[in-house]
Amino acid sequence: MVKIGNITLGNFPLLLAPMEDVSDPPFRAVCKENGADLMYTEFISSEGLIRDAIKSRQKLDIFDYERPVGIQIFGGDEEPMAMAAQIVEATNPDLLDINYGCPVKKVVCKGAGSGILKDIPKMVKLTAAVVKATRLPVTVKTRLGWDDNTKNIEEVAERLQDVGIQALTIHGRTRTQMYKGNADWTLIGKVKNNPRIHIPIFGNGDICTPEQAIAAREKYGVDGVMIGRAAIGYPWIFNEIKHFMQTGEHLPPPSVLERVEVCKKHLRHSVQWKGAVVGILEMRRHYTNYLKGLPHIKEFRQQLVTCSTLAAVEEVLDSIALHYKDHIIERTSPLTDQNLLPAKNEVADCNVYG
């Protein structure tokens, strides 16, 4: 059984990645209902928490039905990160995660996210400060290194474990890769199989089918996988992986009615949490993925992104369910029409997924 502190996650947990403007409570709710074992909030600026910024504070919202859940913070300075850890602890999540993986320029230029991969001693000191500041289990999500010449994740894993982190998630790309090219699972496997490492190691990058999750477990030995973009508009990915691992068979893909019902549930959560105006507006980014694979869907999608009331959006969604009630969406890798199933015991490239 995989454990983080006192949190028991099962034999091979599936984690929902923290994704900015995606991993909010409405999205986490539908992923939890569809099999996610551990979820994280969107990453939160330590400086924003200290300034009491409204957007940062709102990201602290967690609910009992989504436990276990971790709150992820980022920053480049010890004191603000330690103070942010104390603020996070007061909201009573199950764990606190530090983001050392975000490749976005506005984060990196502050020495935060994957920007800290240029200064490993600073990364270790910052992590130690956060561990010391909170009673919560502290975990880290990071990348292989800054670039191809600095893939130092093996050293990083040992040093972060030594200062007290209780789990590590590794995205199999460097910062300079962003989300391009193949994720390098070989280095993730080396970290996991290092005899010095005793904390759980989770792999992230290019997991968008059950076969890929099994390949990650069997070839590289990771304790679980973190799934990101493959879950957007397709929360069924978690239960599909679990079912395939247990039976060796694929679950039938969700019907159009199932897609519409989960989309409506997501929408209602969004309106409830954000209010009608913002909830409806921010939900628009999800429709394309929920409805992917439906022929001639453009007209309906255009209606969805111009509706301004909950009732109007649900009316369009009901029309879609009725119009496509006999349509069967062919199984493809989530978010892609390409055949990305790996060869035996290989993890395939899913371009930007995960």
Identified catalytic residue from 31, 102, 263, 350 = 102
d(CA 290, CA 40): 21
d(CA 131, CA 7): 17
CA 254 to each of CA 234, 308, 319: distance values in angstroms, whole numbers, following the listed order: 9, 27, 18
What is the 3-state composition of the chain as percent helix, strand, coil, each rounded to the nearest 5?
45, 15, 40
In the numeric block, the tokens 């971790």 are attached to: 70
d(CA 195, CA 88): 33
Q: Which amino acid is located at 102 in the chain? A: C
102 is catalytic: yes
Which among 61, 3, 77 is positioned nearest to 28, based on CA atoms?
61
Structure tokens, 92: 């009573």
How does DSSP classify residue 112? -
Active site (catalytic) residues: 102
